[in-house]
Amino acid sequence: MGSTVLSLRIDGELLDRLRSHAAKRGMSVQDYVARTLIREDFDERFKTAVDETEKFYGSRGAATDDHVRPSAGIA
C-alpha cells in the first residue's frame, strides 16, 4: 500500500487544538489526524456491518437486559 499527499487548509485555532491533542499523545499532527480518520472509517464500517447483520438475522424488538446492541461508542 502506497501513500498519497493530502493538503488541507484549516483555521489556525483548529490547528492549535490539533497540536494540543497530538502532543498529549506524543504524536505529530499528521499522525494524529491520520489516526482519527482511520478510527472514524473503522467506526462507520463497523456500524454498517452491525446494521447488515441485524437486517440478515431480523430485528428482535427492543433491547432487553440480556441483549445489548454493540455500538463501539458510535452515536
Three cell numbers, residue 8? 488541507
Closest CA to 40 of 5, 3, 75: 75
- Write down the pLDDT at residue 35: 92
Domains: count for the chain: 1
Rounded to an integer, what distance in angstroms lies between the CA atom of residue 65 and that of residue 36?
33
Each residue's pLDDT, cut to its tens digit, for the chain (75 residues) gives 788 888 989 999 999 999 999 999 999 999 999 999 898 888 888 889 988 998 888 765 545 555 555 665 555
Report how far residue 31's alpha carbon sits from residue 5's, in angstroms, rounded to the nearest whole number.
13
Instruction: Give the position of cell 497540536.
Output: 19
Is 25 strand, coil or helix? coil
Full residue range of the structural domain in which residue 32 is found: 12-57
pTM for the structure as a whole: 0.59
In a domain, 37, yes or no: yes
Greatest CA separation for the chain: 48
Residue 33 lies in a domain: yes
